[in-house]
């Protein structure tokens, strides 16, 4: 399993780096739309949608939305909506018991909730990544860096110090010590990036944005876990050997990217 994860990661890294840094924004937006369509397909199946025609309809509607927004002056869509969506996910993840609620509401209700939530999660992620890429491809890579560093910090800190469970009914393996490890790791990482990349003196604000985005990434991971737990599955799919599905790799990005883009926008940098 570990060997599969490492091999898959080594194959994906040059593709991810190349697509972000080498493609113009037009092509990047189309590629990202394709990636998010795969994630949407997995999410729809996770939500109980099984009929091929229904899955196809959902993907077509999502891509019509992508195209419509791209040709619309999409810069006018205020990034404040991103932060609203992302923090709604945080509130749901931490202050309710959504697993129990979803399991009680019945299959039809669960499917409707899942489909609606899927669109709410996936569309702002695509829009945030396109806006960031248009501003600078390095910002997109930086968001991925935040998530990767946070995951690594949480993993090692959780294994070494983890005692207090973060959300035992949703993801028993996560601990508060892991969250603190993620925050510390991202603080160090973003400090290095800030010193290296920023020409102005707003280093503190940049580091704070990165830390908030890292916290949001934890919430995004938990939120997908809610639906996987309710559906009684381990992974959203089997596309990536050793890693699961596309949504399993993007769950943290779906919260981190909109939050980062929103606060970056509010700071007047986007």
**What is the spatial distance between Cα 190 and Cα 211, in angstroms, rounded to a whole number?**
8
Strand partners, 167: 171
| Prediction pTM value | 0.84
Strands 171-175 and 165-167: antiparallel
Tens digits of residue pLDDT in 7-36: 666 777 888 888 899 999 989 988 998 988
**What is the spatial distance between Cα 141 and Cα 139, in angstroms, rounded to a whole number?**
5
Highest mean pLDDT among 85-89, 191-195, 239-243: 191-195
Residue 80 has pLDDT above 70, yes or no: no
pLDDT at position 14 is 85
Query: Which residues contact residue 77 at a Cβ distance below 8 angstroms, ignoring those fewer than 6 apart?
Result: 69, 127
pLDDT at position 209 is 92
Residue % of the chain over a pLDDT of 70? 76
SS (H, E, C) the chain: CHHHHHHHHHHHHHHHHHHHHHCCHHHHHHHHHHHHHHHHHHHHHHCCCCCHHHHHHHHHHHHHHHHHHHHCCHHHCCCHHHHHHHHHHHHHHHHCCHHHHHHHCCHHHHHHHHHHHHHHHHHHHHHHHHHHHHHCHHHHHHHHHHHHHHHHHHHHHHHHHCCCEEECCCEEEEEHHHHHHHHHHHHHHHHHHHHHHCCCCCHHHHHHHHHHHHHHHHHHHHHHHHHHHHHCCCCCCCCECCCECHHHHHCCHHHHHHHHHHHHHHCCCC
**What is the spatial distance between Cα 6 and Cα 19, in angstroms, rounded to a whole number?**
20
Residue 193 has pLDDT above 80, yes or no: yes
Task: Show the tokens assigned to 7.
Answer: 């091999």
**What is the spatial distance between Cα 244 and Cα 249, in angstroms, rounded to a whole number?**
8
């Amino acid at each position: 399993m570990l060997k599969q994860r490492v091999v898959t990661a080594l194959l994906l890294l040059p593709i991810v780096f190349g697509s972000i840094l080498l493609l113009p924004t037009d092509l990047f937006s189309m590629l990202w739309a394709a990636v998010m369509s795969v994630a949407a397909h997995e999410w729809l199946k996770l939500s109980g949608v099984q009929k091929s025609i229904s899955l196809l309809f959902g993907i077509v509607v999502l891509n019509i939305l992508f195209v419509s927004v791209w040709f619309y002056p999409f810069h006018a869509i205020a990034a404040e909506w991103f932060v609203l969506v992302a923090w709604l996910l945080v509130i749901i993840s931490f202050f309710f018991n959504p697993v129990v609620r979803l399991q009680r509401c019945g299959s039809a209700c669960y499917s409707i909730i899942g489909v609606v939530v899927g669109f709410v999660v996936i569309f702002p992620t695509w829009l945030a990544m396109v806006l960031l890429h248009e501003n600078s491809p390095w910002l997109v890579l930086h968001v991925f860096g935040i998530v990767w560093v946070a995951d690594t910090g949480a993993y090692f800190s959780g294994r070494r110090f983890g005692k207090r469970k973060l959300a035992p009914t949703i993801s028993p393996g996560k601990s508060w010590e892991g969250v603190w490890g993620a925050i510390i790791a991202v603080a160090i990482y973003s400090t290095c990036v800030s010193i290296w990349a920023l020409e102005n003196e707003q280093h503190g604000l940049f580091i704070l944005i990165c830390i908030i985005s890292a916290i949001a990434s934890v919430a995004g991971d938990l939120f997908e876990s809610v639906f996987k737990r309710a559906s009684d599955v381990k992974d959203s799919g089997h596309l990536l050997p050793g890693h699961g599905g596309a949504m399993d790799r993007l769950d943290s990005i779906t919260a981190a990217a909109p939050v980062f883009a929103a606060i970056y926008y509010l700071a007047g940098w986007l």
